[in-house]
Structure 1
Amino acid sequence: MSELPYKSIPEMLKANAARFAGQTAVSYKKGGEWISLSYEHLYERVLMAARGLKKAGVQPGDRVAIFSENRGGWAISDLGIQMVRAITVPIYATNTAAQAAYVINHSEAKIVFVSTRVQYQKLLSVRDQIPDVELIVSYERFMGDKALPVYTLFQLSEISYPLTESEQQEIEAESEKISSEDLLTIIYTSGTTGVPKGVMLTQANMIADAWYGVKQLGGMESSEVFLSFLPLSHVLERTAGYHAALMYGCHVAFAESVDKVVENILEVRPTTMVSVPRLFEKIYSRIYENVHQMNPFKRKLFHQAVEIGRQYVYCRYVHRQPVGLLGIKYRLADRLVFRAIRQRFGGRLRFFISGGAPLDKTINEFMWIIGIPTFEGYGLTETSPAVTLNNIDEVRFGSVGRPLEKTEVKLAEDGELLVKGPQVMRGYYKNPEETEKTMTGGWLLTGDIAKIDGDGFVYIVDRKKEIIVTSGGKNIAPQPMENELKLDKYISQAFVYGDSRPYLVAILTPNLERLLELAHQQNLSYFDMEDLVSHSRVRALFAERIALVNGKLPSYETIKKFVLIARDFSVEGGELTPTMKLKRKVIYETYRDKIEKLYLENGNGGKG
């Protein structure tokens, strides 16, 4: 690990507090105004938090939990925890009280940082289940209950009392004892099935992933502005949108919430962002909805511009050929069409990084066409997370890029992707059995079926456990089909099912805006959304849309029947993980009766 620039995140922060002292490190919105902390000021706040944690009795190796949405306090807490050589245990802000209690108990955290009264109330409701918790530290002021003491981060940090020189020296001396192999964090996988597992990641794991990930992108200037909106409790945002940014002296602005991202983009005008495919799906859908409303001339101009853009992108970036006259055509298309689209992203956005789930090839191409290259990568919580990443010089649409430097990949006999590298976890916390199942001979078994082409680009086919095996013995990957369905202007989300069954069925959620527009145009009579999705004309429309997708597939992969439900799958509803992956078992159990009915109709039931 000697090639890495730092042995720990605290060492990095101290160095950058001097190197980029007056530059903005983080910013967040409070009371309608953006508040910024310079690198020097951030470091001071982190040292104060560390001082408070030491006074609260936190010892090296202790676990300290953070139960919060993204905000400045999250970063200050996490860095303060590391400064005293403790271990950060993030909890998704969307977790229920019971889920949070599991993580707290399993990690044996005695102190929990929370964002608001809402998270505090969750913990208070399960106080009897978390008896070892001694202290709650909140980022907002409110009255707590004597059964669960609460202080603010300001109170813990004793913000009114400047750090003395001796206090700073004592904290820095402690942080200098951190080795690269010390645990930085335990992240409990959200998981699409089963009980969460605590992934143990070291300082070296996360520094290596951030360092080699940025090298794969060709480096980074300190002038970059990140807008952070994915949960910091997820390793993708933490490494790519937070650690990597601070490592290079960049500015990280924390979005107010997922709902405010569009508004915050225009305020912050970021140069780069990390996202999951759901955002790009919504961007793509919204743009094409607007095109649908245009007059015929503008609509034709848009489609011509997109076609020119597609040819230009493939010529310049994929085939690496001179663009010639095509470059002039693209510049004209850009001036007439694409520039206005980019202004909706603040006008400075240079690129996106996409991870967490497969990004549809058509949507990825479109983002490049409009002048916002979107670098799709692949990784797991267990790999800190990045394993592979496309970049401006090496891109293959449909692939997740080539492995990062110092990272090896290979395929097992059944096509499962195996990974070895400096970013691979130490193991699962207090779970040697699962660690042994997942690590073999130094290789991590990813659980993903993949292909690797002659140039070393990796293509993810599907999750090994999610491959559908029909009763006819056909192996079918559901994700590509679901992605194809989601490209339809009327379909928001899709879930394909058919394991051990004679044919495939789907649960679809509609694009409600489009559906309501259709109902208005055709004067459909309905009582509520449940009534509308069961309307015969609506069902006929969705049958037609599925038929268009089926027409591209072999007969055994076609969807024979479907269920249309009146709302999107959601994290709150339990159907999605915090990174927007489908929880297949939950969706099946939730809609079991509707799914089973599709197989019972026409006497074609059972699992035969």
Structure 2
Amino acid sequence: MPSTPHPNCPYQSLPQMLRRTAEQHADRPALSYKRSGSYITLNYQQFYLRVLMTARGLRKAGMQLGDNVVIFSENRIGWAIADFGIQTAGGASVPIYATNTGAQAAYIINHCAAKIVFVSGRQQYEKLLGVRDQLPQVELVVSFERFLGDLKLPVYTLNQLSEVSHPLTSDEKAQIEKNIESIAPDHLATVIYTSGTTGEPKGVMLSQYNLLINATIGHEHLGGINPDDIFLSFLPLSHVLERTAGYHSALLLGSHIAFAESVNTVLENIIEIKPTFIVSVPRLFEKIHSRIYESVHQSSSLKRQLFHRAVDIGREYVRRRYLDNQPVGLLGLKYRIYDKLVFSKIRAKFGGNLRSFICGGAPLDKTVNEFMWVIGLPVFEGYGLTETSPAVTLNNRRHLRFGSVGIPLEGTQLKLAEDGELLIKGPQVMQGYYKDDKTTAAAMDDGWFKSGDIATIDEQGFVTIVDRKKEIIITAAGKNIPPQPLENALKLDKYISQAFVYGDAKPYLVALLTPSLERLIELAQREKLDYLAVDELVTNRRVLELFKERVELFNQSQPSYQTIKKFALLPREFSIEGGELTPTMKQKRKEIYAIHKDQIDQLYLTNGGEK
């Protein structure tokens, strides 16, 4: 492994990168976090010094070189300080989603043999306290907030661990920075546990080199990111997409990271922070698309006509300029006029400074993606996995194809197995699964990582992901049907918020649908439907007739074997809390089936399916 990961990234480790960035951009804002109604900001020098103090505290607390240390927290400044403090002290950080239960956290803590656990506050601490008897090796819990703990599980604050009232002596600083220079590219930086939707979570081992090279070649592939950028961070830092694209990439360039309060306050926080760059998953763009069209639907006839004309011109402009790479001529002038009249007003609702998004984690419907480009908020869709740090492919302004996940990053090789599975070789591929040589060996094929995704690669190198290999539906008639494209198409209907398609080993496909509540309530008011709660509304005869019409409209664009023969309408959306979504809003297909099995089974018991 090279001593420097990349010609344009002269760093051996993430802590070394932070040290140099803090020297170059000492007074620039590094991290912001909202507390008690206002934002607290650390500049790069302050952030770096807090990292050194945390490393000092960890070594005093008994942390050894090579130790794994857990971070059980939502995004906040303390998360970043702990993460870099752990690595600076010679260890590897092991993140746990803040939404995990105590039992789920205990599994990870025990598997990685962590003796020290950082928590965000009382809520995560109480989860650990509830499973204290399962955590015999845990010696120290460090909280980002102050509260009284239990004698069974003593807790200290991050400030106490870091001894913030005692500035670093010159000798302490020199010694810690000497340790930073000894961190090699192949040293373990983090162990990220997969969500475990197909069994026990697996610990993905990513080196300093894996993460640094992915951040470096990723932002080079995109281009245009600079120290003046402001990143709004709302995806969990426990997820590798946010970790690399919205965290390491920003810190590498000296940009400013502002943490959203929660996934539910993103649109509000966008107005406050006025970011230039956001990393997201498809659900955000689906909601943006839906809300804009909902607003247009409620506007005057003249405004609706203006909007739809603007979108038509915008589609033609985007296709000619970015897809065909042709001169836009007079079309450019038309687009600028409609942009000023329509799209600039939409962008103003996102703070006015937002330039672009990165999207990953799940397929983004190409209609939604194209719309975002049309309104001047381009979404760069990419593809990757935890095991690949994560980016493997990415669209950019020079190489764009809606419906694809872009072209390979520099140094990344791709090929397809006989069954269409995407195989990956490159500098971002993991070191292996923690304490699991057997699974590591099974994931590799003569040096190629087996992604588990079925894909196609065209003659220009654009990659299109068909679906997860294990999630493709095989009907009783032997038809192989990827469900995600069907679900994405269903969600484009103005009345449908979410969709889950099922049909494995069955004679026909069925779907679970969740309604767009705004449209549903509007319908109920317009047609004076009687109901006390949404549970009643989704069983109303008129509502069911409407959704039958919407599904039949969808079926007209599908071959017969891909049509939805029956559906059930659910009163609430799939959610993280309900166990149906991962922390990054991906569907847990097995869990959705288990939770709603009775309703799905009923769809195959009643009449009306294929004979």
Taking structure 1 as the reference length, the TM-score comes to 0.98
- The answer as to whether partners of 1:29 and 1:256 remain within 8 angstroms in 2 is yes
Match for residue 383 of structure 1? 388
* 1:187 lines up with 2:192 in the alignment: yes
The residue that corresponds to 2:149 in the other structure is 144
1:469-517 deviation digits (Å, cap 9, x = unpaired): 1000111010000000111111111000000000000001111121111
- Which has the higher mean CA deviation after the structures are superposed, 32-41 or 277-286? 32-41
- Given candidates 443, 464, 469, the residue that maps to 2:469 is 464
- For 1:43, which of 44, 48, 66 is the aligned residue? 48
Matched residue of 1:493: which SS?
strand
Report the alpha carbon displacement of residue 14 of structure 1 after superposing the two structures with TM: 0.8
Relative distance call for 1:604 and 1:340 in structure 2 (3 A) is closer
Decide whether the 8 Å contact of 1:193 with 1:583 is kept in 2: no
1:100 paired with 2:105, answer yes
Say if 1:192 and 1:581, in contact at 8 Å, map to a contact too: no
Task: After TM superposition, give the deviation of residue 120 of structure 1 in Å.
Answer: 0.6
Match of 1:256 in 2: 261
Offset from partner CA, 1:41-68 (integer Å, 9 cap, x none) = 1110100111110111001110100000
Give 2:488's match in structure 1, choosing from 462, 465, 483: 483
Structure 1, 188-197 or 554-563: larger mean CA deviation: 188-197
Distance 2:607 2:556 in 1: 23
The residue matched to 2:159 in structure 1 has which SS?
Answer: helix
The alpha carbon displacement at 1:604 in A equals 6.7
Could you report, residue by residue, the CA deviation over 1:181-209 in whole angstroms, capped at 9, with x for unpaired residues?
01000000114321111000000000010
Q: Which residue of 2 aligns with 1:130?
A: 135
| CA offset digits 1:113-133 (Å, max 9, x no partner) | 111111110110111111111
Deviation at 1:219, TM superposition (A): 4.8
Partner residue of 2:318 out of 292, 313, 316: 313
SS of match in other structure, 2:607: helix
Q: Please name the residue that 1:20 is paired with.
A: 25
Question: How many residue pairs were aligned?
Answer: 606
Question: CA 1:79–1:518 in structure 2 vs 1: closer, same or farther (change >3 Å)?
Answer: same
Structure 1: how far apart are the matches of 2:135 and 2:537? Answer: 45
Q: Of residues 546, 549, 561 in structure 2, which corresponds to 1:544? A: 549
The structural deviation recorded for 1:135 is 1.0
Local SS of the residue matching 1:137: strand
Q: For residue 602 of structure 1, give the secondary structure of its aligned residue in structure 2.
A: coil
2:594 equivalent among 584, 589, 592: 589
**Pairing 1:53-68 to 2, within 5 Å after superposition:** 53-68=58-73
Q: Is the partner of 1:569 in helix, strand or coil?
A: coil
* Paired residues of 2:566 and 2:609 also in contact (CA < 8 A): no
Q: Distance in 2 between matches of 1:582 and 1:347?
A: 32
Letter in 2 for 1:414: D
**In structure 1, the residue corresponding to 2:499 is in which secondary structure?**
strand
The answer on 1:291 being equivalent to 2:291 is no
Once the two structures are superposed, what CA deviation does each residue of 1:144-185 show, in whole Å capped at 9, x if it has no partner?
001001011011111111110111111111222111001000
Q: 1:282 aligns with which of 277, 284, 287?
A: 287
Native 8 Å contact 2:188 2:208 kept in 1 = yes
Which has the higher mean CA deviation after the structures are superposed, 166-175 or 545-554? 166-175
Give the TM-score normalised by the residue count of structure 2. Answer: 0.98
Aligned counterpart in structure 2 of residue 438 of structure 1, from 443, 447, 450: 443
Q: Residues 408-447 of structure 1, C-alpha deviation per residue, up to 9 Å, x if partnerless?
A: 0111111100000000001110111111111111111001
Distance 1:183 1:598 in 2: 49
- Unaligned runs of 5+ residues in structure 2 are none
Supply the AA of the counterpart residue of 1:150.
V
Q: Does residue 364 of the first structure (1) align with residue 385 of the second (2)?
A: no
In the alignment, the residues of structure 2 paired with residue 349 and residue 31 of structure 1 have an alpha-carbon distance, to the nearest angstrom, of: 25
Please state if 1:245 is matched with 2:250.
Answer: yes
In 2, Cα distance between the equivalents of 1:216 and 1:603? 51
Report the AA paired with residue 28 of structure 2.
Answer: Q
Pick from 183, 205, 213 the counterpart of residue 208 of structure 1.
Answer: 213
Counterpart Cα distance in 2 of 1:219 and 1:387: 19
Of 514, 523, 531, the residue aligned with 1:509 is 514
Render the CA deviation track for 1:560-606: whole Å, top value 9, x for unaligned: 0011110010111111111111111111111111111111113979x
Instruction: Tell whether the 8 Å contact from 2:279 to 2:357 is kept in structure 1 after alignment.
Output: yes
Q: Which moved more, 1:427-436 or 1:70-79?
A: 427-436
**Aligned match for 1:426, one of 409, 425, 431:** 431
Mapped contact 2:87–2:189 kept (Cα < 8 A): yes
In the alignment, what sits opposite 2:83? 78
- Equivalent in 321, 329, 335 of residue 330 of structure 1: 335
Pick one of 389, 394, 397 that aligns with 1:392. 397
1:236 aligns with 2:260: no
Structure 1 vs Structure 2 CA RMSD:
1.1
In structure 1, the partner of 2:535 is 530
Separation in 2 of the partners of 1:257 and 1:497? 31
Any stretches of 5+ residues in structure 1 without a counterpart? none
Does the 8 A contact of 1:96 with 1:122 survive in 2? yes
Give the C-alpha shift of residue 264 in structure 1: 1.2
1:600 aligns with 2:605: yes
Q: Which residue of 2 aligns with 1:199?
A: 204
CA shift for structure 1 position 38:
1.0
The one-letter amino acid of 2:387's match is E
State the AA in 2 paired with 1:7.
Q
2:395·2:401 contact (CA, 8 Å) conserved in 1?
yes
The residue identity in structure 2 corresponding to 1:380 is L
**Code of the aligned partner of 1:234:** H
1:570 aligns with 2:575: yes
Runs of 4+ in structure 1 off by over 3 angstroms are none
SS at the partner of 2:358? Answer: strand
